[in-house]
């Protein structure tokens, strides 16, 4: 354990979470095993090793699936409100352990401590949502065309839900999926990112204790660890009827084709190339706050991070100057220190992608307004700290069309009506989050209309980053079309069934068909 980690209480946080120096990465509840090679969990904060986690072999995976299948047979017949009670208890444990889990998220992933706490709060919020949902997993009743018949639809659990999550939200996205899947009667097998494996082990420890306390099968929640080959074990497995995958569009295409080939269901949450439109009627102060947090929060490593700001020519210089000035005030450093705004990128590969993006901006004719660069020296020993950069660009530049998972912000200019700005915003392959800054009602409604933003999320006078769990989260086009979290997103974790009951002594056929015997 590094000196910095001890200074900020990471050792105490790990102890509170019940984590030892070496942790097994394959688990069915309280049973821990794993015979694959170890992977090292290292912090981008200071480059120090945190722990070693064993990976999952094919033999280990078979044990996990057998445990999950057996658990599903019992879990699915437990009344949904009782399943909700288990999720409620899980939420209470998260409340109790919010601080240490938030610290682990911050240290292993590199986001600010406040963002780490916020991510755990999202887990708590989705548990609360799921508890209420457990009493309203409703279908519909329809009028039958045949006399003396009743017709309705209901939803049943799917079985095993596979979850593949990304490093940037190492715990919340799993909870978005698993809390809903559990109240729906499903069991879950989770493969966290190999870049943040210890967060997965910590969450599994927490739910395992809840399951044990309630004398429930440990296979309700299972953990597997490793690289993409471990993920392939789920995507190719017919025993896993649904796979929810969060990550890059490239990864999502592979998951979609593999799961689709066996006619399974996939929920995809992929890349974003999110924009804020700034009209002449925008509040500049609000614009700057939304844009800066959206661009540099989590060091630009959110799928909802603001990548582009599309500014009307009348406002362009004012907005540009205000945002550039705000960037001069950013503090970069240890994310556990709450005085800092920006932490590190996840690893050296992310740094290389950031550097390449800045080079491509210049090569493709862009103008750098706020210089980027990799920081070195005391406090930056991990080599993962970079300066948030701003560039003037055009939407048709190849680098602007690409999602760079780093704090690189592009300023784009538009002329004329808001329709022109919307066309620019929609002119990328991704369709996750979008926003408009305006006090003009007509512009706002135009942005939200059928002919407006083509993204799954469209906001007025708030930024692109961040979402409430009460609404369905997800996007269109290359973002994958999936929806998680609130609204009726729960339906994807269930299979729909239409039922017809004949309570007469005759058997009339549909559409008036006669078949006399």
* DSSP assignments along 126-186, one per residue: HHHHHHHHTT-----EEE-SSTTEEEEEEEEE-SEEEEE--TTSTTHHHHHHHHHHHHTT-
Do 291 and 307 contact (CB within 8 A), yes or no? no
pLDDT at site 34: 80
**Tell me: the pLDDT tens digits for 250-259?**
999 999 999 9
**Among 108, 218, 269, 443, which one carries the catalytic annotation?**
269
Task: Give the tokens for residue 167.
Answer: 């490093």
pLDDT at site 21: 55
Neighbours of 337 (CB within 10 A): 16
Query: What DSSP string runs through 236-277?
Result: T-TT--EEEEES-HHHHHHHHHHHHHTT-EEEEE----EEEE
- For the segment 342-361, the average pLDDT, to the nearest whole number, is 98
End-to-end CA distance of the chain: 81
376: buried, middle or exposed (CB in 10 Å: 19+, 13-18, 0-12)? exposed
Neighbours of 396 (CB within 10 A): 10
**Tell me: the pLDDT tens digits for 277-308?**
999 999 999 999 999 999 999 999 999 999 99
Q: Taking Cα atoms as reference points, which of 160, 162, 173, 174 lies closest to residue 231?
A: 162
**Among 303, 384, 455, 484, which one carries the catalytic annotation?**
303
pLDDT at 22 over 70: no
For this structure, is 506 an active site residue?
A: no
- For the segment 350-356, the average pLDDT, to the nearest whole number, is 98
For this structure, is 269 an active site residue?
A: yes
Which domains are present in the chain?
3-270+480-496 (3.40.605.10), 274-470 (3.40.309.10)
CA distance 11 to 7: 9
pLDDT at 318 over 70: yes
pLDDT at site 502: 96
């Amino acid at each position: 354990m590094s000196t910095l980690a001890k200074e900020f209480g990471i050792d105490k946080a790990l102890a509170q979470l019940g984590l030892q120096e070496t942790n097994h990465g394959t688990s069915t509840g309280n049973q821990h095993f794993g015979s694959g090679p170890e992977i090292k969990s290292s912090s981008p904060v200071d480059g120090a090793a945190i722990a070693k986690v064993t990976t999952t072999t094919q033999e280990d995976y078979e044990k996990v699936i057998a445990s999950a299948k057996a658990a599903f047979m019992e879990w699915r017949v437990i009344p949904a409100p009782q399943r909700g009670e288990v999720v409620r208890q899980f939420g209470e444990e998260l409340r109790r352990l919010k601080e240490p889990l938030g610290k682990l998220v911050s240290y292993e992933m590199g986001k600010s401590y406040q963002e780490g706490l916020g991510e755990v709060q999202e887990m708590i919020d989705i548990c609360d949502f799921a508890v209420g949902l457990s009493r309203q997993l409703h279908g519909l009743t329809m009028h039958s065309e045949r006399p003396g018949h009743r017709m309705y639809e209901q939803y049943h659990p799917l079985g095993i839900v596979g979850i593949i999550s990304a490093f940037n939200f190492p715990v919340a996205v799993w909870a978005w999926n698993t809390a809903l899947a559990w109240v729906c009667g499903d069991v879950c097998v989770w493969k966290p990112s190999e870049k943040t494996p210890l967060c997965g082990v910590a969450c599994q420890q927490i739910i395992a204790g809840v399951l044990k306390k309630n004398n429930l099968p440990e296979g309700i929640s299972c953990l597997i660890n490793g690289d993409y080959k471990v993920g392939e074990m789920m995507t190719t497995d017919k025993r896993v009827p649904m796979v929810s995958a969060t990550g890059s569009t490239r990864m999502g295409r592979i998951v979609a084709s593999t799961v689709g080939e066996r006619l399974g269901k996939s929920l995809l949450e992929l890349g974003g190339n999110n924009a804020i439109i700034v009209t002449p009627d925008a509040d500049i102060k609000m614009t700057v706050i939304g844009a800066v947090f959206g661009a540099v929060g989590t060091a630009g490593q959110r799928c909802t991070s603001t990548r582009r700001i599309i500014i009307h020519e009348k406002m362009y210089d004012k907005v540009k100057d205000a945002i550039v000035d705000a960037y001069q005030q950013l503090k970069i450093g240890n994310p556990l220190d709450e005085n800092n705004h920006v932490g590190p990128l996840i690893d050296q590969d992310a740094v290389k992608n950031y550097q390449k993006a800045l080079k491509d901006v210049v090569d493709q004719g862009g103008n750098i307004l706020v210089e980027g660069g990799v920081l070195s020296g005391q406090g930056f020993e991990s080599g993962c700290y970079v300066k948030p950069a701003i560039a003037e660009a055009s939407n048709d530049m190849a680098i602007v069309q690409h999602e760079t998972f780093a704090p690189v912000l592009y300023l784009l200019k538009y002329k004329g009506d808001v329709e022109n700005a919307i066309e620019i915003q929609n002119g990328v392959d991704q369709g996750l989050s979008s926003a408009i800054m305006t006090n003009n009602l007509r512009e706002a409604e135009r942005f939200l209309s059928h002919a407006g933003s083509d993204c799954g999320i469209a906001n007025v006078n708030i930024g692109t980053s961040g979402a409430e769990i009460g609404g369905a989260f997800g996007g269109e086009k290359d973002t994958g079309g999936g929806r998680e979290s609130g609204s009726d997103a729960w339906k994807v974790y269930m299979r729909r069934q239409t039922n017809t009951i004949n309570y007469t002594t005759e058997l009339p056929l549909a559409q008036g068909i006669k078949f006399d015997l």
